[in-house]
Amino acid sequence: MRMNNCDHFDTGHNAGALCIRTPRSGDGPAVWRLVSETGALDTNSRYSNLLQCSHFAGTCALAEMDGEIVGWMSGYVPPKQPDTLFVWQICVADPARGHGLGQDLIAAVLARPENANLCHVECTITPSNVASWSLFRKVAGALDADLKSQPHFLSETHLDGEQESEIRVTIGPFKAEATRSPALV
């Protein structure tokens, strides 16, 4: 997708005007609606999205197309892992799917100067989430980094048997210059 210079981040894709930027607190309600409307992710509270858009804005990214929010990535740096971006959720609206926007959102966060110390990306993925597995394999390839996985939150132990187990995925270590690689963006 082609981007304007919202955060001075250009994906190099050619599918319409797109802006990836750091979220602001006023974006919280729109983020909540996007996640709710896609139906694929757990809907957090509106307050949670407000905190993500304010307290954790530096490790989150929002994509707009023609003034509409079409993509969202929430992430944070775990307190005991200051070199790791933990990706909590990635959500892409139908009009923006199929253009690599999920990867672009991660790349935008990693490319920010304040995140130059990050050399790992982590997330959890259910075994059946084919799209997420594909996304994070592409991210690992673009960063020229190893992808490792191991069980993390087990269905019966941690999730009351109500949903699939979550597999912890770790990508890295990678070098800071890899986050600016054309392959990532």
> Helices marked H in 1-154 — which ranges?
28-38, 46-54, 101-110, 130-142
Length of the chain equals: 185
Please give the structure tokens belonging to residue 20: 């990836």
CATH says 2-180 is which class? alpha beta
d(CA 58, CA 48): 15
- Percentage of the chain modeled with pLDDT above 90: 62
pLDDT of residue 2: 34
Q: With contact defined as beta carbons under 8 Å apart, do 121 and 106 qualify?
A: yes
The model's pTM is 0.86
Instruction: Locate the domains of the chain by residue range.
Output: 2-180
Model pLDDT for residues 98-146, shown as the tens digit of each residue:
889 999 999 999 999 999 999 999 999 999 999 999 999 999 999 999 9
d(CA 43, CA 41): 6
Please give the structure tokens belonging to residue 106: 């991660």
